[in-house]
Every structure is written in C-alpha cells, then in structure tokens.
Structure 1
Amino acid sequence: MKFSDFFNNWLHENYYKNVAQIGKKGDFFTAVSVGNLFGTLLAKHFLKLIDDGIIKPPLEIVEIGANEGYLSRDFLSALLEFRPEIFSQISFFIVEPHEKLRILQQKTLESIDFTHKNNLEECHFKNAFFFCNELFDSFTCELIDDNKMAYVQDYQIIFKPIDKALKEKCEKLNLKKGELSLELENFLKKLDQVSEKFIFAGFDYGTLDNDRFSIRIYQKHEVFNLFEVPLKDFFGKSDITYNVNFNHLKIVIENLNFKLLHFKKQSQALIDFGFEELLEYTKNKNMKSYENLLSQGKILFFNFDEKFHFFEFAKL
C-alpha cells in the first residue's frame, strides 16, 4: 500500500480513534498541555479581530482536531471572562470524526452549548472563525525521494517509481525529498466549498524548506526514527508525525485565492496576542493566577522548538 494509506491506518484508524493521550501521561506535549494560557491568548486575538473590524459577528466558531476539547474550553472560558456578551452572537462547533473523542469533548465542554460535525462535508458556514492546534501534521502524507515514493509491505518501507501526477506536483513545489500531503490540499478545498467567509487560525510544527525526511515516531516523549525501528511494534500505539511543508501551504492558499494574514513563530504570535497585557490584567486581580500564567509563559516561550509557527489566512 502507499505510505499515505499506511499513515492513515496507523494514526486515524487506530491511534486517534482509540483516544490518544496527550501530555505527561501520553506520548507527546502540545501547547494546550501546558495550561489555559494558550487558549486564553487565542481568545484575545479573536476579540481583537472583531475590534479591528476584520471579522464581524454573528460568527460560527469551529475547532478542528480538538482531541479532549481542552483548547476549546480554555478559549471559551476566556471569552466568558473578557466579553460574555459575545455569546449571543456566536455559535460553536467541533468537527470530529471519532466517536470516543466526541464523548470526551462532550464531557470537557458539558456546560457549553455546541454542535458536533463528523466532517466538513456535512457543514455549511456563512461567517466562520476556525482554529486548530497541530492539525496539519496529522494529515496523511507520501514520502518522496526524488523519482521514488514510499510503499509499505509487511511493515517494511520500500521505495518504488513515483506516480507521474505526483512527480509533476513535486516539481512545481521544488520538492525532491521529504513529505508531501495531498490531504492538505483536499482539506483547504473543502474548507472553501463549505464556507462563504472565514478566518482560519492554526498552529503547527514545520519549515519552509523541506529537503529531508522529518517523519518520526513519538512514544512516551521519546523520538524514534521511522526507518530504524520495527514498525509493527509501534503501529497504532504511538504517535507518528512530520514537519508541515509551509511552502506547500502558502502555495495552496494562494491558488485558492485566500488571503494570508499572518505567518510567524508561535512564540512571537503569543506575544502579539497580548501576553504582557494579560499578565498585567491578571496581576491586578489575583497574584496566584498571575504566577501560574507566568510559569506557563516560560514553558511556551522557551520549551517549544522554533519550528512551531502560527499561520492565519482568510476568505473574506
């Protein structure tokens, strides 16, 4: 089978479907694992988009790839803190294909009125704000090595001649070696089809100049080289991921006539969202909460690799 099918079976038909744990007890951390600061700053950014007239209520707010729902909880809690009247002008959705994760999300957000959607195909949004954290690096990908692409047979990766259409796409992207996600293109096309207007805010790990394989396995916070371990021992039980090709993302955004609003380091984005203002606001209200946010900030700014980026694009 093509590597993309193997990747899908590993990650989506087994690992996520059976509720992968994230954080200390899981295989990897995300910014959401640190605490509520990440979601709070995203909420401040969302409110600034409204205040600056870039988006106007009424709005549909949509998280994709919510896992247990903690980012949505932190985001909505911050809206309740800063501007509770906004709830009369928003409706909230989570796009989630996995039943076990939907149950967890309902438990996390039990006091919130929201709607689950299984996939984008069953959606129609008039004026949406989408957000996600580490979604694109879970999209299925092919492994490209010049004129060859990866297949998997009996848990062994083998390279065979590349499909002609895929080769042409790689040439357009100047991609000679690395990961290529056709699902990324399909996802953004679906987003276009189901939305009249939107802003999409995302965070992910990646680079602009992919020229090597970045695909790797995470198990209990250890990193393993995909090509050096017995895949059968890890299949469906550990996380598999890779660096997002942001050059590819930018090209697809341009081809769909979306407007790229922001592309910057995650740490810079969190500062721009109002980290210092939030600290000052919290310090004046509760010193213990202030110290907690300061501690979270140190982790977010110093413990996450510089490859973490924030990107935001729009169909307006």
Structure 2
Amino acid sequence: MKLSEFFRLWVENYYQNIALIGKKGDFFTAVSVGNLFGTLLAKHFLTLIDKKILTPPLQVIEIGANEGYLSRDFLSALMEFRPEIFKDLEFFIIEPYEKLRALQRKTLQDCELIHKNSLQDCEFSNAYIFCNELFDSFSCELINGKTMAFVDDDFKLYFAPSDEKIQKECEELGLKIGELSQELNLFFKQLDKACKSFVLSGFDYGVLKPDKLSLRIYQKHEVFDPFKLDLKKFFGKSDLTYNVNFTHLLKLIKDYNFKLLAFEKQSQALSKFDFEEVLNHTKNKNIQSYENFLSQAKRLFFGFDDKFHFFEFQKI
C-alpha cells in the first residue's frame, strides 16, 4: 500500500473518533492558545473588506474546524467590532465527520451554521475561506530520490521505485527528498471549481526547500519517528503529520492563476492584524481580558517556530 493511502486511512480513523487538540490532546495549535488568534483573524477579515479586497455579501467558510473554537472566536470578534456585518454573511463549515459536526454545532449553538461534506458539494459565488493547520493533514507520499514509501502488511515502512508521474512532479518541484501531497493538487482543483471568487487565508507549518523526511507522529505532545515504531499501536490513535512543501503550494497558486496576497511567518502576519488596536480596545473595556491577551500574544508571537507561516491568495 502506498504511504498516501495508509496516511488517508490513518487520518480518517483519527478524526472520526474525535481528535482532541490542546492540553488534553496530542498537539497544540494557535487556536489552543486562546481567543486572541481568532480575534486577530477577524480584524484582518474586516481590513480586507475595508480595503475592498473582499466585498459583501459573502459566504464565510472554515475548513478543518475540529471542535469549532476558531470559528467561535472569529465570529465573537466580529460581533464585538462590527455586528452590523452579519446581515451580509452566511457561515459554513466543511466537515465530513458527523462526530465533529456535533461538536461544532455545540460550540456554535448561537450561530446559523451550514455544514457541507466537502468542497465538491459547494457552489460559492463570493467566499472568504480560512483554515488552520489543514494542509499538513493531507495525505502524502514520502520521496527519497526516485523511490517512494510503501507500507507492508505488518505496518512496516519501506521504499520502492516511484512511478513516472510521481518522478515527473518531483522534478518540476525540485523535490529530491521530503513529502509530496497529491491531495493538495486535488484540493486546488476542487477549490477552483467550487468558488467563482474567493480569498483564502491559511496558517500551516512547512518549508520552501525540503531537505529531509519530516513525517512524524504526535501523541500526548510527544514526537515519535514512524520508522522506529510499531505503527499498529499508533494507527488512528495519534496525529500523523509532516512539514507542508510551500514550494508546491506556491506553484499551485501560480498554476491556477490565483493572486498571492501574502506569504510570511505566522508571527509577523499576526502582529500586523491590528494587534495594537485590539489591545487598546480590550484595555478600555476590561483590564483582565487585556492582560489575558498580552499573555496569549507572548505565546502566539514567540511560542511557534519559524516553520509556521501565514499564506493568503485570491481568485477574482
């Protein structure tokens, strides 16, 4: 079995059984830090509207929402800063797993939420899409020269020659060793078909020039090498992930003639999302919330390494 097929089965089992994120889960994300992350994203969204990069009415969509905390924080901030905007918004979450849908409905019980199973089920005319650590959950191949990874019946990883199509794509990307996600190719195809126009804002960790295999497992905040484990004991019970190949992402943006609006370190981007204005607004209303935001900011700006990036692109 190709590693990508094994990866897909692993992720499906993991998320169908509800993957917990944060202190009680296997890993942290920026959302786990607190509501400042979603608040800053909401302020950035309003800036896109004020600059007329986005023009309401809009469909607002989160992909990969897990429990729905980012959407909750995003919508709460919109209510705080510009409640009148809601008359021009429809809110969607793309979520294939019913257990996670139930959690999202509970988290967002005061929101008129529309669930969709996949991008293939969608027809958006004017969309704003956001996602956090989505692409690192896409299935991938492990590439090492002209070989790729497979998984045998005993759940052991091994390498064998890759096919010509894979080799050609690797040559186009200049990829000699690392991960290649053909699911990312499919996502862009579906995204282009599903949306007449959109802006997508995303956060993920990765590198521009992969120079090693980064596939790894997170379980209760410990990192494990999948080549040194009995994978049967971890299968579908822990997070399987890797560094996103940002060269691949940027190439797809160019190939589809989408407009790249931003690509920078996550901490740099967040500091530009009206952070000082958010702090001043909060300080004037509630000093405890202000101090909480300051504490969260330290973790958001300094607690995530340089692999974490913000990217944003547009279809007009």
Residue 65 of structure 2 aligns with an amino acid whose one-letter code is: A
| Displaced runs of 4 or more, over 4 A | none
Q: Deviations over 1:79-105 (max 9, x none)?
A: 000000000000000000001000000
Aligned to 1:47: 46
Residue 2 of structure 1 aligns with an amino acid whose one-letter code is: K
* Residues 248-259 of structure 1 mapped to structure 2, 5 A cutoff: 248-259=248-259
Q: Identical aligned pairs, as a percentage?
A: 65
Q: Name the TM-score, length of structure 1 as normaliser.
A: 0.99
Residues in 2 aligned to 1:148 and 1:37: alpha-carbon distance in whole angstroms: 43
Aligned to 1:270: 270
Q: Deviations over 1:180-199 (max 9, x none)?
A: 00000110110000100000
Aligned to 2:164: 164
TM-superposed CA distance for 1:72, in Å, is 0.3
* Residues 214-225 of structure 1 mapped to structure 2, 5 A cutoff: 214-225=214-225
SS, match of residue 125 in structure 2: coil
Residues in 2 aligned to 1:20 and 1:131: alpha-carbon distance in whole angstroms: 20
Residues in 2 aligned to 1:192 and 1:99: alpha-carbon distance in whole angstroms: 26
Aligned to 1:149: 148
Aligned to 1:31: 30
Aligned to 2:311: 311
Aligned to 2:288: 288
Q: Deviations over 1:23-61 (max 9, x none)?
A: 000000000011100000000000000001111000000
Aligned to 2:10: 10
TM-superposed CA distance for 1:281, in Å, is 1.3
SS, match of residue 144 in structure 1: strand
Aligned to 2:203: 203
TM-superposed CA distance for 1:274, in Å, is 1.3
Q: Deviations over 1:188-233 (max 9, x none)?
A: 1100001000000000000101121011000100011111111111
Residues in 1 aligned to 2:291 and 2:306: alpha-carbon distance in whole angstroms: 25
Residues in 2 aligned to 1:302 and 1:53: alpha-carbon distance in whole angstroms: 31
* Residues 78-89 of structure 1 mapped to structure 2, 5 A cutoff: 78-89=77-88
SS, match of residue 310 in structure 1: strand
TM-superposed CA distance for 1:275, in Å, is 1.2
Aligned to 1:69: 68
Residue 241 of structure 2 aligns with an amino acid whose one-letter code is: T
Residue 204 of structure 2 aligns with an amino acid whose one-letter code is: D
Larger deviation, residues 45-54 vs 222-231: 222-231
SS, match of residue 211 in structure 2: coil
Residue 27 of structure 1 aligns with an amino acid whose one-letter code is: D
TM-superposed CA distance for 1:292, in Å, is 0.5
Residues in 2 aligned to 1:128 and 1:25: alpha-carbon distance in whole angstroms: 33
Residues in 2 aligned to 1:178 and 1:228: alpha-carbon distance in whole angstroms: 18
Query: How many positions carry a matched residue from both structures?
Result: 315
TM-superposed CA distance for 1:175, in Å, is 0.4
Residue 147 of structure 2 aligns with an amino acid whose one-letter code is: K
Q: Name the TM-score, length of structure 2 as normaliser.
A: 0.99
Residue 201 of structure 1 aligns with an amino acid whose one-letter code is: S
Q: Deviations over 1:214-253 (max 9, x none)?
A: 1100010001111111111111111010000000000011
Residue 147 of structure 1 aligns with an amino acid whose one-letter code is: K
Residue 94 of structure 1 aligns with an amino acid whose one-letter code is: I
Residues in 2 aligned to 1:117 and 1:26: alpha-carbon distance in whole angstroms: 26
Aligned to 2:131: 132
SS, match of residue 124 in structure 2: coil
Larger deviation, residues 227-236 vs 94-103: 227-236
TM-superposed CA distance for 1:301, in Å, is 1.2
Residue 60 of structure 2 aligns with an amino acid whose one-letter code is: I
Structure 1 gaps, min length 5: none
Aligned to 1:247: 247
Residues in 2 aligned to 1:30 and 1:52: alpha-carbon distance in whole angstroms: 29
SS, match of residue 228 in structure 2: coil
TM-superposed CA distance for 1:285, in Å, is 1.2
TM-superposed CA distance for 1:305, in Å, is 1.2
SS, match of residue 16 in structure 1: helix
Aligned to 1:105: 104
Residues in 2 aligned to 1:236 and 1:116: alpha-carbon distance in whole angstroms: 24
Residues in 2 aligned to 1:80 and 1:49: alpha-carbon distance in whole angstroms: 17
